[in-house]
Amino acid sequence: MQSPLAPKPLKASLSDPATWVDQHGDYLFRYAMMRLRNKDLAENMVQETFLAAITGKNSFSGRSTERTWMVGILKHKIIDHYRRDFREKTVTDLQGQQNDEEQTIDSFYDAAGDPRKFPKDWMPEPEALLHNKEFWETLQHCMGKLPQNTAHAFAMRELDDKDTGEICKELGITPTNLWVMLHRARLQLRECLERNWFDLKK
The stretch near other proteins (CB under 8 A) out of 5-13, 17-25, 58-66, 77-85 is: 17-25
Q: DSSP secondary structure string, 119-150?
A: -------HHHHHT-HHHHHHHHHHHHTS-HHH
Nearer to other proteins, 12 or 158 (CB): 158
Q: Phi and psi dihedrals of 130, rounded to 5?
A: -55, -35
State which of positions 89-148 bind other proteins (CB under 8 A).
95, 98-99, 102, 105, 108-109, 112-115, 118-122, 124, 126, 129-131, 133, 136-137, 139
Helix (H/G/I), strand (E/B), else coil: 33: helix
Provide the β-strand partners of residue 109. Answer: 115
Q: If binding is defined by CB under 8 A, does position 12 make contact with other proteins? A: no
Q: How far is the CB of 71 from other proteins (least distance, A)?
A: 9
Ramachandran angles phi, psi of 12, nearest 5°: -85, 130
3-state secondary structure 155-177: HHHHHCCCCHHHHHHHHCCCHHH
Name the residue among 71, 83, 63, 69 with its Cα closest to residue 9: 63
Q: Among 30, 63, 76, 195, which residue interacts with other proteins (rule: CB under 8 A)?
A: 30
By CB under 8 A, how many residues form the interface with other proteins?
A: 62
Q: Which is nearer to other proteins, 112 or 200 (CB)?
A: 112
Chain Cα centroid distance, residue 18: 28
76 binds other proteins, rule: CB under 8 A? no
Is the Cβ–Cβ distance between 180 and 105 less than 8 Å?
yes
Our finding on whether 187 is near other proteins (CB under 8 A) is yes
Instruction: Supply angle C-alpha 14, 19, 20, rounded to 5.
Output: 70
Q: Which part of the chain contacts other proteins (CB under 8 A), choosing from 42-50, 76-84, 85-93, 144-152?
A: 42-50
**Which residues lie near other proteins (CB under 8 A)?**
17-18, 20-22, 25-27, 29-31, 33-34, 43, 46-47, 50-51, 54-55, 95, 98-99, 102, 105, 108-109, 112-115, 118-122, 124, 126, 129-131, 133, 136-137, 139, 158-159, 161, 164, 175-180, 182-183, 186-187, 189-190, 193
